[in-house]
Structure 1
Amino acid sequence: MDQSFLLMLSNLLHLHNSLDPTTSLLSDTLSSTTTVAGASVGTSSASPTSLLTSSSAAPLLFFTIASVLSYIASSKPSSSSSAANTSTPPPSSSSNAVAASDYSVSAFRALSTEHIWSLEAPLRDAQWRSLYGLSYPVFTTVVDKLKPLITPSNLSLPCDYAVAMVLSRLAHGFSAKTLATRYSLEPYLISKITNMVTRLLATRLYPEFIKIPVSRRRLIETTQAFEELTSLPNMCGAIDGSPIKLHKLQRDQKLAGSYKCRYGFPSVLLQVVADHKKIFWDVCVKAPGGTEDANHFRDSLLYNRFTSGDIVWEKVFNVRGHHVRPYIVGDWCYPMMSFLLTPFSPNGMGTPAQNLFDGMLMKGRSVVVEAIGLLKGRWKILQDLNIGLNHAPQTIVACCVLHNLCQIAREPEPELWKEPDESGPPPRLLDSEKSFYYFGENLRQALAEDLHQRLSSR
Structure 2
Amino acid sequence: MDQSFLLMLSNLLHLHNHLDPTSSLLSDTYSPSSSSAASPASLLTSTSAAPLLFFTIASVLSYLAASRSSSSSSSATTPSSPPSAANSEFSVAAFRALSTERIWAMEAPLRDAQWRSSYGLSYPVFTTVVDKLKPYIAQSNLSLPSDYAVAMVLSRLTHGLSAKTLAARYSLEPYLISKITNMVTRLLATKLYREFIKIPVSRRRLVETTQAFEELTSLPNMCGAIDATPIKIRHVPAEANPSAYRCREGFPAVLLQVVADHKKIFWDVCVKAPGGFDDSTHLRESVLYNRLISEDIVWDKVLNVRGHHVRSYIVGDGGFPLLSFLLTPFTWNRTGTPAQNQFDEALMKGRKMVEEAIGLLKGRWKILQDMNVGLDHAPQTIVACCVLHNLCQIAREPEPELWKEPEESGPAPRVLEGEKSFYYRGQTLRQALADDLYQRLSR
Name the counterpart of 1:167: 154
Asked if residue 407 in structure 1 is aligned to residue 393 in structure 2, the reply is yes
**CA-CA distance at 1:85 after TM superposition:** 5.1
Aligned pair partner of 2:78 in 76, 89, 95: 89
Please list the CA deviations of residues 105-157 of structure 1 after superposition, one character each: whole Å capped at 9, or x if unmatched: 22212222222222211111111111111111111111111111111111121
Rounded to whole Å, the distance in 2 between the matches of 1:279 and 1:309 is: 24
**C-alpha spacing 1:74/1:236, structure 2 compared with 1 (3 Å):** closer
**C-alpha spacing 1:97/1:247, structure 2 compared with 1 (3 Å):** farther
Pairing of 1:230-379 with structure 2 (within 5 A):
230-251=217-238, 255-379=241-365
**CA-CA distance at 1:101 after TM superposition:** 2.5
Name the counterpart of 2:191: 204
Please list the CA deviations of residues 44-87 of structure 1 after superposition, one character each: whole Å capped at 9, or x if unmatched: xxx979x759xxxxx99999998887777777776666556545
Rounded to whole Å, the distance in 1 between the matches of 2:421 and 2:164 is: 53
Name the counterpart of 2:22: none
- What SS does the corresponding residue of 1:429 show, helix, strand or coil? coil
Pairing of 1:68-87 with structure 2 (within 5 A):
82=71, 86=75
Q: Is the 8 A contact 1:234 1:324 kept in 2?
A: yes
Please list the CA deviations of residues 409-454 of structure 1 after superposition, one character each: whole Å capped at 9, or x if unmatched: 0001011000110111111111011111111111111111111111
Name the counterpart of 2:14: none
**CA-CA distance at 1:100 after TM superposition:** 3.9
- What SS does the corresponding residue of 1:286 show, helix, strand or coil? coil
Name the counterpart of 1:108: 95
Letter in 2 for 1:231: S
Rounded to whole Å, the distance in 2 between the matches of 1:205 and 1:353 is: 43
The structure number with the bigger radius of gyration is 1
Rounded to whole Å, the distance in 1 between the matches of 2:219 and 2:7 is: 103
Please list the CA deviations of residues 235-275 of structure 1 after superposition, one character each: whole Å capped at 9, or x if unmatched: 000000000011233356x7221101011111000000000
**C-alpha spacing 1:438/1:78, structure 2 compared with 1 (3 Å):** same
Letter in 2 for 1:134: L
Name the counterpart of 1:222: 209
Please list the CA deviations of residues 159-193 of structure 1 after superposition, one character each: whole Å capped at 9, or x if unmatched: 11111111111111111111111111111111111
- What SS does the corresponding residue of 1:199 show, helix, strand or coil? helix
Rounded to whole Å, the distance in 1 between the matches of 2:50 and 2:390 is: 86
Rounded to whole Å, the distance in 2 between the matches of 1:52 and 1:153 is: 75
Rounded to whole Å, the distance in 1 between the matches of 2:4 and 2:359 is: 76
Asked if residue 443 in structure 1 is aligned to residue 429 in structure 2, the reply is yes
**C-alpha spacing 1:80/1:239, structure 2 compared with 1 (3 Å):** same
Letter in 2 for 1:314: D
Name the counterpart of 1:190: 177
**CA-CA distance at 1:321 after TM superposition:** 1.9
**C-alpha spacing 1:120/1:73, structure 2 compared with 1 (3 Å):** closer
Gap runs ≥5 in structure 1: 10-18, 25-35, 38-46, 54-58
**CA-CA distance at 1:368 after TM superposition:** 0.2
Rounded to whole Å, the distance in 1 between the matches of 2:174 and 2:409 is: 40
- What SS does the corresponding residue of 1:268 show, helix, strand or coil? strand
Please list the CA deviations of residues 218-241 of structure 1 after superposition, one character each: whole Å capped at 9, or x if unmatched: 100000000111111110000000
Letter in 1 for 2:117: S
Letter in 1 for 2:269: V
Q: Is the 8 A contact 1:337 1:439 kept in 2?
A: yes
Q: Is the 8 A contact 1:173 1:379 kept in 2?
A: yes
Pairing of 1:118-197 with structure 2 (within 5 A):
118-197=105-184
Letter in 2 for 1:89: T
Letter in 1 for 2:160: G
Pairing of 1:412-427 with structure 2 (within 5 A):
412-427=398-413
Q: Is the 8 A contact 2:4 2:62 kept in 1?
A: no
- What SS does the corresponding residue of 2:225 show, helix, strand or coil? strand
**C-alpha spacing 1:52/1:111, structure 2 compared with 1 (3 Å):** closer
**CA-CA distance at 1:89 after TM superposition:** 3.1
Q: Is the 8 A contact 1:97 1:184 kept in 2?
A: no
Letter in 1 for 2:200: P
The TM-score, its normalising length taken from structure 2, stands at 0.87
Number of aligned positions between the proteins: 426
Q: Is the 8 A contact 2:87 2:93 kept in 1?
A: no
Name the counterpart of 2:38: none
Rounded to whole Å, the distance in 1 between the matches of 2:408 and 2:287 is: 24
**C-alpha spacing 1:70/1:303, structure 2 compared with 1 (3 Å):** closer
**C-alpha spacing 1:79/1:225, structure 2 compared with 1 (3 Å):** same
Letter in 2 for 1:214: V
